[in-house]
Structure 1
Amino acid sequence: MTREQLIAAVQRHFDQGHYATDLARRIAWRTESDTGQVVPALRTYLTGEMVPSLQALGFDCQVLDNPDAHGGPLLLARRVEDPALPTLLTYGHGDVVNGQESAWREGLSPWSLTVEGERWYGRGTADNKGQHTVVFTALDQALLARGGKLGYNVTVLLEMGEEAGSPGLARFCEEHREALRADLFVASDGPRINVERPTLFLGSRGAINFSLTVRARDKAYHSGNWGGVLANPAQVLSHALASLVDAHGRILVPRLRPASVPGKLRAALRDVAIGTGADDPALTPGWGEPGLTPAEQLVGWNTLEVLALGAGNAQRPVNAIPAQAVAHCQLRFVVGTDWKNVESTLRQHLDAHGFGMVEIAMGMFCGATRLDLDNPWVDWTLASMQRSAGQPATLLPNLAGSLPNDIFADQLGLPTLWIPHSYPACAQHAPNEHLLAPVVREGLAVMAGLFWDLGEPTGVPWKEGALAAQDAL
């Protein structure tokens, strides 16, 4: 079979409904991981669904316990054609955020795949069951096209706790470093930059969650009897927040900002348009760091967001000075940010501005990553994607959101390539989550073509030793 025949075969597979059948079965598993509990479905999704599917492709599968009791189990699957061949590592997650059943539109359920024209609804369609189903379907079709021999080895890591912050993932990867040894990392998660064209991104912004709390006293006091002589924690906290980020979203703490947008990054983002989709929100003029384009704001800069505020009872306010106030915040940051010292940076800043009473509690975090734009895998992958899709792919140096890519890029030392098959208005994490059939169909072609190209005898930028082993076959 030729490459062109493979592309036609994988899209015919989609058109005949086989992809939809697999995805519907997977959506039906209630694999919620952000509820504070490790529910049994997290394991049975792996043992009952993914293990049989991967074993059919020749993978040796292990479902292993998470070293962190708060994390779900992990699937480690290996398909070794020859230990001397190069190895591809791919990753996905089978867990989802909570279903939010009551908030879905009438006629939709988070646990059933519902097709309405080009939109396919269900929890996990976009994040991440639909995406890893694209990867494994394309891999299956590439194997068939290659007569059962890819010309390289494949390792699959599927976790069941990404939506809970990937507890235990870093430790698991360290404990299984030898089994995860690879030459290249390719995975699918997150959205394309826009619906029209495929996207390749090379890493992600990092994220740090933290909470700021002002505890003024142990109970509320009448605002008429005590207003004017008792400090209001909500007002104190509001001014503390205003010292961190201004009224236009600009970060005011120098150490929480990157030094600049590198010229090479700026050049890569020159033609990247943000917010052009029909369902995208309208951008706010003048918001964020002055002088940056929307793409530079999202991909090349840091943002400090207040995710939630609490003081008193907003649903039923009373005439009382609240006892305490809290703000749950998040810093999204790019490569080069001194993120490991964020807590001390916040403490020093707040103390210097007279807010020593503000308590800081740090939450979950992940580092920022970005594969060098000059890495040979970048141009090679873009060429492969264009050949399959019939149009150029958009290069995004890093995703604006966050993924545990630092584990693969920094801890395991791999070149990391992410090819998403969702789009910005997919409603991931929200009611009515969906994917778009044309994006999936094109994504299947892109991934199948990539898996074919990785097996070519020449021109693939594997490591020198791995390439020599492949050429010897």
Structure 2
Amino acid sequence: MKRLDQLTAFLRFPSISAQNVHASDVSDCADWLVDKLSSMGFAARKYATPLHPVVVAEGPKVPGRPTVLIYGHYDVQPVDPLDEWKSDPFEPEIRGERLYARGVSDDKGEIMAHILGVEELMAQEGGTLPLNVKFIFEGEEEVGSVNLSAFLQEHRDELACDVVVVSDTGMVAQNLPTLSYGLRGVTGVEIVVHGPEADLHSGIFGGAVSNPATVLCHLIDSCHDADGRVAVEGFYDGVAALENWERNMWGNVQGMSNADIARLVGVETLMPETGYTGTECIYARPTLEINGLGSGYQGEGSKTIIPSSAFAKITCRTVPGQDGARIQDLLEAHFRRLTPPSVKLEFRRQHVSTPYLCDPKSSFSRAAQEALEESFGVKPVLVREGGSIGSITEFKDILGVDSLLIGLCLPDARIHSPNENMPVELFNKGVEMSKCLLRRLAQVQLS
């Protein structure tokens, strides 16, 4: 079967992990993966979890050679708003040399590129592989990988490996291969300012009773100073300065100038932290962002009230040297110190994931860079990824190995949005890259 035919068959499963109505579709997609991997001669199995299945497969054993574990997630985001899609999100369609479908860039296209890379390399090598290959594909990444840690603990021996390969990160540009050696962590909180027992008439009580929405605005305004730095005491403790080689490399990355980023996201100009470029802020600086807030009347026209409460949802992207639980402590102390006695502050702690950083000069990392250069024809760019992937720190903590983050997702792939896409050429390049990568990793000498 042709490459694209196999990818489109995979993409047709509406494996939306966040919606219970699609639980059977997620399970059916896992079954499809098991059948595909089994047909290649791999020992493949679907494991049940309290939510969605995990697929694990192991190829023929090659004694004395490295073992690579290839990770991906076969679950996808919801498709809403559906009316903004130009084609059915689960009926893949090629338009203008790009393939459009939900999950094609996050993460089914990358999964299939690696599966086909292994399959084609086996065919070229007479049914064998130059190293040991295992796969692990989960169906819960888009809902926080809630069962992955326990699964890795339980199956640690089965999943033992020397390095993990993950293609769930981004590329700077289609013809510029990208290796990520770091990820930011994420720390979430929610604050609620409680005032009067119920909404009050703003004419009768205005000026005498503290308005929770006004207090919330003051609290939010206190989070940053005029230079764009987070103004929470102790927030930057432990944050290391960027290396000169990092700043030099990122300053020359194609398509990532401040003006380029502004055009990409549709704003007039960027407002990065003083002393840093937009790229440096995205890749490697800690942040505090307001993700949502609300209070009072939101309907048509006017309703003159003092709202009884106001809330804000906040996440901080953390970098190596920061601890998410400590950041939550600092935020709570900051907000409580500034909250006037006329209102009450409720502070809710949410999820925490750990930042990740590995050595881009390690033997496995160098092998990956050589494979990227061989398959794309240019030297790869080394970056840190601005987002967070919880599974990466789980692999490090539980399996004791680093991950090679080899992106195949473009900045304009529209992941998590309508009209998600991937260039067909890039998918095919990904298959070739996977074959090059396995050959290069097989040559790494184990200590």
State the TM-score, normalizing by the size of structure 1.
0.87
Q: Which residue of 1 aligns with 2:71?
A: 91
Say which of 174, 186, 189 aligns to 1:207.
Answer: 186
- The reply to whether residue 262 of structure 1 matches residue 248 of structure 2 is no
1:119 aligns with 2:102: no
1:40 partner SS = helix
Give the match's secondary structure for 1:202. Answer: strand
Stretches of structure 1 lacking an aligned partner (at least 5 in a row): 1-16, 465-473
Q: Choose from 76, 79, 96 the match for 2:56.
A: 76
Residue 64 (str. 1) matches residue 40 (str. 2): no
Name the residue aligned to 1:329. Answer: 314
Give 2:124's match in structure 1, choosing from 125, 131, 145.
Answer: 145
Tell me which of 271, 291, 296 is aligned to 1:287.
271
Q: Distance in 2 between matches of 1:354 and 1:218?
A: 18
1:154 and 2:141 equivalent? no
Q: Give the share of equivalent positions with the same residue, in percent.
A: 26
Deviations along 1:36-85, one digit per CA (max 9) or x if unpaired, are 677122211111x100110112211221122xx3x422111112424554
Give me the whole-angstrom Cα distance separating, in 1, the residues matched to 2:19 and 2:263.
29
2:382 to 372, 391, 395: 395
Q: Is contact 1:224-1:319 (8 Å) kept?
A: yes
Cα displacement (A) at 1:376: 2.3
| Structure-1 separation of matches of 2:46 and 2:53 | 7
Q: For the residues of structure 2 that align with 1:325 and 1:438, how far apart are their CA atoms? A: 49
State the one-letter code of the partner of 2:59. R
Task: Report whether the alignment pairs 1:434 with 2:424.
Answer: no
Find the aligned partners of 1:284 and 1:371 in 2 and give their Cα distance.
35
What is the aligned partner in structure 2 of residue 347 from structure 1?
332
In structure 2, what is the equivalent of residue 173 of structure 1?
A: 152
Cα distance in 2 for residues equivalent to 1:285 and 1:109: 35
> Tell me, which stretches of 5 or more residues in structure 2 are unaligned?
none
Alignment deviations for residues 303-349 of structure 1 (CA, whole Å, 9 cap, x no partner): 11111111123343521111111111111111111223122111122
Q: State the one-letter code of the partner of 2:253.
A: V
Structure 1 vs Structure 2 CA RMSD: 2.2
Match of 2:7 among 23, 26, 30: 23
Describe the shift of the 1:126–1:452 C-alpha distance in structure 2 as closer, same or farther (beyond 3 A): same
**Paired residue total:** 438
TM-score by length of 2: 0.92
Instruction: Say whether residues 1:100 and 2:80 are aligned partners.
Output: yes
1:444, distance to aligned residue in structure 2 (A): 2.0
Q: Judge conservation of contact 2:288–2:317 (CA < 8 Å) in 1.
A: yes
**Which of 35, 40, 60 in structure 1 is aligned with 2:24?**
40
Q: How far 1:235 sits from its partner (Å)?
A: 1.2
SS at match of 2:165: strand
The reply to whether residue 185 of structure 1 matches residue 172 of structure 2 is: no
> In 2, Cα distance between the equivalents of 1:331 and 1:148?
48
Instruction: Give distance in 1, aligned partners of 2:146 and 2:221.
Output: 32
State the shift of 1:118 in Å: 1.6
- CA deviations on 1:260-313 (whole Å, 9 max, x unpaired) are 323453344342242648972256646232111222111110111111111123
C-alpha deviation, 1:355, in angstroms: 5.7
Quick one: distance in 2 between partners of 1:278 and 1:229? Answer: 44
Secondary structure (helix, strand or coil) at the match of 2:57 reads strand
